[in-house]
Structure 1
Amino acid sequence: MTASVAITRVNAEELPVFISLIRALESEAHPRDKAAAERAARGVYQSLQRLDFTRSDVCWMLLARAAGMPVGYASLVRIPKADARSGYLFVDELVVLEGFRRAGVASALLAHVEGEAHALGVAGLRLLVRPQNEAARALYRTAGFSESETIFCEKHV
């Protein structure tokens, strides 16, 4: 199945639609945890209190719709450099509802992200993917990404 996909930037008016998608994604990811969806929705509101991604030019969300229904999103962060280099656009998350995977939604999101990267004049796109997520890795390779030997480091604070 190939879906006709519309991509929009999440703004304040679309926030309820975005939160309904977050609830649906969390319900899929944690079917036995009935409270997961509400925790995730609260998390969106908490995130907005720290940084309003609906009005930011540093980080924002893209919402994918198929037949008018929200089916996926991408979370983007613009990473500047402290010199003349143009920086990167980082894809922090790219998630699609299970019933719409392998239907062109993620590819449409990536194509839209690439268009935004060109419009911003950044040097390129970056993202992380788990080594065991073969489907995502194949998607990214098909979209022109190359895998590197970079080691990801993380520290929780």
Structure 2
Amino acid sequence: MNRVFAQGFDDAETYAAAPPGEAWAARWLANPDHVALIAEIADEPVGALAAYVLPKYEQARSEIYIYDLAVLESARRQGVATALIDHLRAIAREVGAWTIFVQADIVPEDEPARRLYRKLAWEEITALHFDIAP
């Protein structure tokens, strides 16, 4: 999955420089609130999606946040991202999530992702993202 993200985002430093060990990966995958999906063409990974089920406090319901979604350039415009999101929608229904949300950067190179999200979304909200140091 990290190899697809490293290539798809052209960000080897984040996704390939310090991969987690087997124990970390196993613990992450065992968490029922974590979703990891891989799309393959001819047994080769071409897309990946990482998401989190977020149980809410204000009502007995959950949301799902798509944290990362990438498709390799060679497989783009073939429905891979839509198929990954469709699979996530089925998972959302299984866990009783009321919505799936995703953030998209406003840089020009992310316009294809924004077009996809606009096609699938029932609402578009403009928001700012702030990273706060721990």
* 8 A Cα contact 1:53 1:61, kept in partner: no
Provide the aligned C-alpha RMSD in A. 2.6
Of the structure 1 ranges 143-152 and 40-49, higher mean CA displacement relative to structure 2 is found in: 40-49
1:116 aligns with 2:116: no
**Separation (CA, whole Å) in 2 of partners of 1:126 and 1:22:** 19
Q: Secondary structure at the match of 1:62?
A: strand
Letter in 2 for 1:29: D
Matched residue count: 132
Could you say which residue in structure 1 is the equivalent of 2:64?
89
**Separation (CA, whole Å) in 2 of partners of 1:149 and 1:19:** 28
**Which of 25, 29, 45 pairs up with 2:10?**
29
User: Which has the bigger relative contact order, CA under 8 A and spacing at least 6?
Assistant: 1
Could you say which residue in structure 1 is the equivalent of 2:113?
136
Of the structure 1 ranges 145-154 and 108-117, higher mean CA displacement relative to structure 2 is found in: 145-154
**Separation (CA, whole Å) in 2 of partners of 1:137 and 1:19:** 22
**Separation (CA, whole Å) in 2 of partners of 1:53 and 1:114:** 21
Change (3 A) 1:85 1:104: same
**Separation (CA, whole Å) in 2 of partners of 1:141 and 1:47:** 37
Unaligned runs of 5+ residues in structure 2 are: none
Question: Structure 1 residue 123: deviation in Å?
Answer: 1.0
Question: Structure 1 residue 68: deviation in Å?
Answer: 1.4
1:106 aligns with 2:81: yes
Letter in 2 for 1:138: R
**Separation (CA, whole Å) in 2 of partners of 1:74 and 1:48:** 21
TM-score by length of 1: 0.71
Could you say which residue in structure 2 is the equivalent of 1:67?
42
Letter in 1 for 2:102: L
TM-score by length of 2: 0.82
Question: Structure 1 residue 43: deviation in Å?
Answer: 3.1
**Separation (CA, whole Å) in 2 of partners of 1:53 and 1:129:** 24
**Separation (CA, whole Å) in 1 of partners of 2:23 and 2:132:** 23
Could you say which residue in structure 2 is the equivalent of 1:146?
123
* 8 A Cα contact 2:5 2:48, kept in partner: no
**Which of 6, 11, 15 pairs up with 1:40?**
15
**Separation (CA, whole Å) in 2 of partners of 1:99 and 1:50:** 27
* 8 A Cα contact 1:53 1:60, kept in partner: no
